């Protein structure tokens, strides 16, 4: 376990005691399993299974002690099985979960917990699994009587499967003893290193801004909105842009609602009503994503206690949708109408508009 402050939060003169995001990524990439937890300005890394150098095959082929950690070997022996294309696709799609072979010395050496790498004979594709169970039988008849044939060949029948197995393995091979290798969908090998650091990746993708709002109504379900003092003087819901470090959109909506109305709203876990995507345009150079949550109904007493922040809004009002449609620009009203329809389960919960 490694506990470290982040370099971004550490004074320059103490930079030597901290790690930055790129250093954390490079560190995690040297281990097969890495868990990260952030708390109180610190990063906790739990690192397991140092990666072996795959250029040294004698290391990968060695047996390792059978130390078990969370049900997995600290290091896995690796075996390679080649499959015809149709069988490979069955494994790839998650349908085939038992592979049948015979007990040659190579296959008899496989143990539960080992890795099997399946290779597609028709291409250069490969995938890896962990052996969950190994069962040896006296004959293919015995194997197919005990195992579920659809897990061996999901697209064939038992009779066809028996013929195919005996075509591949003549009697002398069958006499070695058929083996059923059961596997699930857990990966057996560590993932590849990411092609670039998080900082590098962030420079390659379009940037977005995010906002969070609360949709509040009076006791008659008429929407409550605030009139902005800026720009086109738009009518707005309580909420705003996610610009505080560490906040999520719901936390932003709650904080902004207090700042803009003086009321604590959406304190329960509110329902997400609408996801709003705005394309970038002349008025806003970045794409924007908004999450609008159901802030519930406001009582007459709550409405009387609204106190606007004059730096942002100069008026609040309660109207039905018909009246709001007269007061708002068509594009702005389209969002309000979509929110209300989503609240009533009468429309989609995803809206795309242009700025």
Q: Pairing mode, if any, of strands 208-217 and 239-241?
A: antiparallel
- The whole-number average pLDDT for the span 176-198 is 93
When pLDDT is averaged across residues 173-192 and rounded to a whole number, the result is 94
Tell me the mean pLDDT in the region 318-341.
Answer: 96
pLDDT at residue 27 is higher than 50 = yes
Q: What is the mean pLDDT of the chain?
A: 89
Q: How far apart are CA 132 and CA 99, in angstroms?
A: 11
The model's pLDDT over 112-122, given as tens digits with 9 standing for 90+, comes to 999 999 999 99
> 197: Cβ–Cβ under 8 A, 6 or more apart, which residues?
21, 22, 25, 26
* Mean pLDDT of all residues in 154-160: 94
Q: Which of 238, 239, 271 is nearest to 252 (CA)?
A: 239
Q: Which of 18-22, 52-56, 177-181, 241-245 is predicted most confidently? A: 177-181
Residue 51 banded pLDDT, cuts 50, 70, 90: low
pLDDT for position 26: 78
Answer for the pair 128, 190: CB distance below 8 angstroms, yes or no.
Answer: no
Query: What is the C-alpha separation between 73 and 250, in angstroms, rounded?
Result: 41
Question: Between 347 and 183, where is the model more confident?
Answer: 183
- In this prediction, residue 53 carries a pLDDT of 45
Q: Which two tokens stand for residue 150?
A: 């659809």
Mean pLDDT comparison of 13-27, 29-43, 74-88, 155-169, highest-scoring range: 155-169
Pairing of strands 115-120, 126-136: antiparallel
Q: Say what the pLDDT of residue 9 is.
A: 78
pLDDT at residue 76 is higher than 90 = no
Closest Cα partner for 52 from 115, 130, 99, 121? Answer: 115
Handedness of CA 346, 344, 265, 260 (dihedral sign): positive
pLDDT digits (tens, 9 = 90+) for 342-355: 999 998 899 999 87
Q: Report residue 285 as tokens.
A: 């150079």
Mean pLDDT of 214-230: 98
CA distances to 222, 285, 289, 329 from 275, in Å: 21, 20, 7, 20
Helices (H), the chain: 21-28, 57-60, 85-92, 105-108, 140-146, 149-152, 158-168, 171-174, 198-202, 249-261, 300-304, 321-327, 330-343
- Do the beta carbons of residue 235 and residue 225 sit within 8 Å? yes
Mean pLDDT of 282-294: 92
Query: Can you give the pTM of this predicted structure?
Result: 0.63
Q: What percent of the chain has pLDDT over 90?
A: 71
Tokens of 208: 């977005």
Helix, strand, coil percentages in the chain from 3-state DSSP, rounded to 5: 30, 30, 40
**pLDDT at res. 52:** 55
Residue 63's pLDDT band, with cuts at 50, 70 and 90, is: very low
Give the model's pLDDT for residue 355: 72
Give the Cα-Cα-Cα angle 4, 6, 11 (nearest 5 degrees): 110
Residue with the bigger pLDDT between 75 and 81: it is: 81
Over residues 133-152, mean pLDDT: 97
């Amino acid at each position: 376990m490694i506990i470290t402050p982040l370099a971004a939060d550490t004074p320059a003169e103490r930079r030597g005691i901290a790690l930055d995001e790129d250093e954390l990524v490079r560190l995690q990439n040297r281990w097969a399993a890495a868990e990260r937890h952030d708390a109180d300005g610190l990063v906790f890394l739990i690192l397991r299974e140092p990666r072996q150098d795959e250029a040294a095959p004698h290391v990968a082929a060695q047996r390792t002690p059978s130390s078990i950690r969370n049900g997995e070997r600290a290091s896995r022996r690796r075996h390679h099985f080649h499959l015809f294309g149709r069988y490979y696709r069955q494994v790839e799609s998650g349908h085939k979960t038992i592979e049948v072979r015979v007990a040659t010395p190579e296959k008899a050496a496989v143990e539960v917990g080992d890795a099997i790498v399946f290779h597609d004979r028709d291409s250069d594709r490969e995938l890896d699994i962990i052996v969950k169970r190994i069962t040896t039988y006296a004959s293919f008849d015995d194997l197919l009587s005990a195992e579920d044939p659809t897990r061996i060949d999901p697209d064939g029948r038992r009779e066809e499967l028996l013929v195919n197995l005996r075509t591949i393995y003549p009697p002398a091979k069958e006499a070695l003893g058929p083996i059923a290798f059961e596997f699930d969908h857990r990966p057996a090998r560590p993932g590849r290193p990411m092609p670039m650091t998080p900082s590098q990746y962030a420079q390659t993708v379009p940037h977005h801004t995010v906002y969070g709002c609360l949709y509040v109504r009076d006791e008659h379900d008429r929407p409550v909105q605030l009139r902005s003092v800026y720009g086109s003087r738009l009518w707005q819901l309580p909420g705003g842009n996610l610009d505080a470090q560490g906040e999520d959109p719901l936390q932003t909506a709650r904080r902004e609602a207090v700042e803009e109305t003086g009321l604590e709203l959406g304190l329960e876990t509110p329902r997400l009503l609408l996801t709003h995507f705005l394309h970038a345009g002349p008025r806003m150079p970045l794409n924007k994503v908004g999450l609008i949550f159901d802030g519930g109904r406001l009582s007459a007493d709550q409405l009387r206690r609204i106190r606007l922040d004059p730096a942002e809004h100069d008026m609040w009002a309660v109207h039905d949708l018909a009246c709001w449609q007269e007061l708002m620009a068509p594009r702005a009203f389209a969002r309000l109408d979509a929110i209300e329809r989503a609240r009533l389960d009468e429309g989609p919960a995803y809206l795309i508009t242009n700025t």
